[in-house]
Amino acid sequence: MSWKSYLTASVLCVVASPVFAAPAISVTKGGTVSNNYLDASGNVVWNTQISNTSPVPATSSPLAAELGFAASNTLVGASNLSTGANDDFDTVNPGTPIFGWEVPAVSGTNGKPEGIQTNCATGCTVNVPGNNPNKVFSALGSIDYGSVGPHDYIQIKTGRPVVSIANPNQTQTITVSGAYTGKGRISELTDATHSANYDTYSNQFARTFRGGDYDLNGSVDFSDFQLGILTNFNQTGKNWATGDFDGNGTTDFADFQLMLTVFNSTYSVGAGAGSGSGLSGGGAVPEPASMALVGLALLGGLGVSRRKR
């Protein structure tokens, strides 16, 4: 049995080593547009990463994790985040069921589920409607790391943010848990005798999206209007990254009105835990000069749109 498999299969009952701090998990941005929070389809992208201890154990430092993730919004899918550049969780391990819907492996794992399993609608490996939707089970082992992380673990995608004038903010969360009194487990091999260092882990990571903030930099300002609304005005097939904040597929006057309600305001988008959603900065109502600029730009955009037809 490889050390990576050993970590999950037998080391989980070992007392943590007092020499090393425990491994830890983090969540970062992983998208391709809008300040890397979203992908091209407007879905929210969460890259989960695991850091080993510092200093790295002298003999070897593979990691193994049994973690569950619950999304507050529609789960689009989950996949291994391995890059192939010496930053890999490359071993499918058996793990203890977390949510109860996991499918046991066919052989070699004592009937335990393994790898990455999801329970959601289209695009996922398991589909049990109404039974713990929007959740991800994961049990993976890593290569031997010679340096401290963070090391890529898995990528989770959740549905597009959608807001309205009545509710201009939407906060999405990813909650981490596991089978050990509600907590997940991250283990690290520390020497050739298979001594292990591990910790149980639970947390919640949050991101807030405010209508009008096209580039998701935490500020609703004139650049959002120029790049989000004006560039895409009156066009269909759009999402948040192209100015459609209310989720109807079109960047239109309703999106412009929504932007006006929070224009000149700032907030915390948040790459991890503790992001806020309260208004700050300029306030909810733009100054008259700003409104005039926005109105003139919109009229110009409408003129361009008419000439193109």
pLDDT for 163:
97
**Are 92 and 225 within one domain?**
no
* Inside any domain, residue 151: yes
Using CA atoms, how far apart are residues 43 and 41, in angstroms rounded to an integer?
A: 6
246 falls within a domain = yes
Q: With 50 as the cut, is the pLDDT of residue 19 above it?
A: no
Choose one of 182, 201, 220: the last residue of a domain: 201
Contacts of 130 (CB under 8 A, 6+ apart): none
226 pLDDT tier (thresholds 50, 70, 90):
very high
Res. 174: pLDDT tops 80: yes
More confident residue, 130 or 169: 169
Same domain, 96 and 168: yes
Residue 97 near residue 135 (C-beta atoms within 8 A):
no
Statement to judge: residues 133 and 196 lie in one domain = yes
Question: Last residue of a domain, which of 201, 233, 259?
Answer: 201
Same domain, yes or no, for 40 and 183? yes
Q: What is the pLDDT of residues 228-275, one digit of tens each?
A: 999 999 999 999 999 999 999 999 999 999 999 999 999 999 865 333
Domain end: 171, 201, 231, which one?
201
Angstrom distances, CA of residue 275 to CA of 1, 31, 180, 207, 270 = 42, 18, 27, 6, 4
Do 218 and 197 lie in a common domain?
A: no
Q: Express each pLDDT in 21-80 by its tens digit.
A: 678 899 999 999 988 999 999 999 999 999 888 777 766 678 999 999 999 998 888 999
* 41 plus 181 within the same structural domain: yes
Mean pLDDT within 180-209: 81
* Of 131 and 218, the one with more pLDDT: 218
The model's pTM is: 0.83
**Are 190 and 235 members of one domain?**
no
Residue 161 lies in a domain: yes
User: Do both 100 and 233 map to the same domain?
Assistant: no
Range of weakest confidence among 28-32, 110-114, 187-191: 187-191
**What is the reported pLDDT for 119?**
76
- Is residue 16 included in any domain, yes or no? yes
Claim to verify: residue 55 and residue 142 sit in the same structural domain: yes
The structural domain count of the chain equals: 2
Residue whose entry in the numeric block shows the structure tokens 């208004």: 279
**Residues 287, 216 within the same domain:** yes
Residues linked to residue 230 through DSSP beta bridges, in sequence order: none
Residue 86: predicted pLDDT: 67
CA dist., res. 171 & res. 161, Å (int): 8
Model confidence over 63-108: pLDDT tens digits? 999 999 999 998 888 999 987 776 899 999 999 999 888 888 876 5
Summarize pLDDT for 273-284 with one digit per residue, the tens: 333 333 333 333
Is residue 67 a part of any domain in this protein? yes
Same structural domain for residues 147 and 247? no
The answer to whether residue 174 sits within a structural domain is yes
pLDDT level of residue 182 (50, 70, 90 thresholds): very high
Q: Is residue 206 assigned to a domain?
A: no
Q: Is residue 292 located within the same domain as residue 151?
A: no
Question: Per-residue pLDDT for 131 more than 70?
Answer: no
Residue 171 contacts residue 277 (beta carbons within 8 Å): yes
Residue 133 banded pLDDT, cuts 50, 70, 90: confident
Higher pLDDT, 195 or 215: 215
Provide the b/e sequence for 189-221 (b: ≥16 CB within 10 Å): bbeeeebbbbbbbbbebbbbbbbbbbbbebbbb
- Please identify which residue in the block is written with the tokens 């695991």: 50
| Residue 81 covered by a domain | yes
Q: How confident is the model at residue 13 (pLDDT cuts 50, 70, 90)?
A: very low
Residue 16 has pLDDT above 70, yes or no: no
CATH number at residue 220: 1.10.1330.10
Which domain range does residue 230 map to? Answer: 211-308
